[in-house]
Amino acid sequence: MTAVRGTTVDVPTQDGSADAYFAYPDDGAAHPAVLLYMDAFGLRPQLRTMADRLAGAGYTVLVPNVFHRHGRAPVFALPEFISDADRPALFEQIVPVAGGLTGDVVARDAAAYLDWLAARPEAADGPVGVSGYCLGARLALLTAGAHPERVAAAAGFHGAGLATDAPDSPHLLADRITAEVYFGHADQDPSMPPEQIERLDKALTEAGVRHHSDVYAGADHGYTMADTDRFDAEAAELHWTVLLDLFGRTL
């Protein structure tokens, strides 16, 4: 693994400054850029660790605090280890804030993040990859649909509500996507039931999007996050394998 440099940065958006974590190989070269979207618990040490691992594999990675309108990270007071007992009180705070991330807001912020990356000397010219977790999987799909000319690969892991009956469901942007897309679902995840997985795959297939999805057996929603009790080491390592394969093919 390459030596990595990581730092906190501020990214200007149309709605104020977004704090973010920025990680890149410490070799003076430009590397393919990746936008990494956090889960609902927010930008914290676990996300920085994941960004560092991706940077160590040869990518320049930006992890924005997507809740920046509500303050700098951590927006919510989190325990070092998030248990099921912690979740109800946390989600009482998180759900209203996450609800403000409409499709228009996400597209606008994504443009700012992509512009910022494009201007960085650490980021190579050309299209970027996007990876998202939980809430971030929705943001990854929306970003690929809103900025098809800029996103070559999009991946989502234990995503929630990606293909609902709502008029603004992310899967409805499938016909705008030009990226190669991957989803790693969890079979113990009630927020992305089999009928939604089927609806998402059908929309991507009908739109001619290169895509693949897996359902990780025995995995819970949140299986990539080592600072929660939903972590599944085997599923998390599989996620790294498929993510690096996707970015290696496309970026």
CATH class of 4-250: alpha beta
The pLDDT assigned to 108 comes to: 98
Own/partner contacts of 233-239, CB < 8 Å, gap of 24 or more, are 235/184, 235/186, 238/184, 238/214, 239/157, 239/184
**pLDDT tens-digit readout, 5-32:** 999 999 999 999 999 999 999 999 999 9
Is the overall model pTM greater than 0.85, yes or no?
A: yes
For the chain, list residues with pLDDT below 50. none
Q: What is the CA radius of gyration of the chain?
A: 17
The pLDDT assigned to 104 comes to: 97
The pLDDT assigned to 2 comes to: 82
The pLDDT assigned to 73 comes to: 98
E strand segments, 26-113: 33-37, 60-64
Map out the domains of the chain as residue ranges: 4-250
